Structure 1
Amino acid sequence: MSAHRLPQALNNLYQLSLWQETLYSAPKVHGILFGVSCVPEIPMPETWLGYVFNQHSQIPSEAALEQLTKVLMDGLSQVLAAIHQSDYTFCEAWSWDDSEYAMFADFLQGVLLVHQAQEKQWQKAWDTMPETAQVAHSKTLQQCLSMMTTFADVPLAISKKSPAQQPAFISALPQLFLSLSNTIERYVGLSGQVASYLPNQFEQFTQR
């Protein structure tokens, strides 16, 4: 089984036992950094650093938190650099295999966690677009969120289908999975399009 390809900063971080039980899984934190990178107007660190902590975890010392903040900011820079280079090679480790659900599911849960938490910022940026652009991009956003939600928790997605619908849905999942990496790219592209309407913003993503 291939390992989820992490930004180097996270790879180094998760070799330290201090953080292995304090933070969410490495793929989920990668997804959180990815989600932060895709907010049309990237939020300040103090608004999202708390997203990475596992529930009920004990917060380390202030010195350790300062070091963690630096590492996460380095990780965010690495994620942004990969996005600028259209580098989505981390998806290559994902496989449609029961034993590997957690690999992509955790990453997608991280992305969706940020999208939900930063929904007001997304909406604020969305409202700057002309109505025609909103209509054009709305379908793309809905499709991206639907796909990511499905594969963030496959058993839950199956359970939401009626008994009559479940067999066909389950049969379709492997084929749908093949377009998951494209969904990630579309989500990034959409974020860049929305960000381009914000006033006084430098372009964050390579135009497609």
Structure 2
Amino acid sequence: MQKAERALISLTDKDGCAAFAGALAGLGIELLSTGGTAGVLRAAGLRVVEISDFTGFPEMLDGRVKTLHPKVHGGILFRRDNAEHQRQCLDNGILPIDIVAVNLYAFRETVADPACTLDNAVEHIDIGGPTLLRAAAKNFHDVTVIVDPADYPQVLAELKDKGHTELETRFRLARKVFALTSAYDAAIGQWLDRLDPASLPGCRD
């Protein structure tokens, strides 16, 4: 397996992220990030490439569309051992993203507030985060995906030792992702089930 070149870090829980990203940068890994996470990393003195600069396409729709772009998902999903995938990435300027560290909008915490409105709850349904996580977890043969800061030390230790993580580690982390995203979607579905459709505001054209 080739040495990791590039990491995408976009976190709601920023605990330890600057130290983790700093260690990645120290290994020569380029850092991609978005919004508040990019600000935290820059404040720590790290060089960060904004996703909008990486893709050449601006964040839009009040942040609803940030990472949903072929240069991001192609970079995560292409199989490194597939010559046709490599050719298509080369033809389309898609660079590899080897590490994805993402956690999700705090939906459960948001709807636990009795004052939470429907609009506020809906805006805390994460779209880009689960999509990134699922893409990276699907391609665990080539990509390391991290949803839990407790996994930072092992990932860093393996990267320092070999330049990449072990397949067993990537598989364990991928399983963690699917457990998280399934529970996240279940929480959204359960909350929506409690709503009375008759109480919803009128349809928006």
The two structures have a TM-score, normalised by structure 1, of 0.31
Q: Which has the larger helix fraction?
A: 1
Q: Which has the larger strand fraction?
A: 2
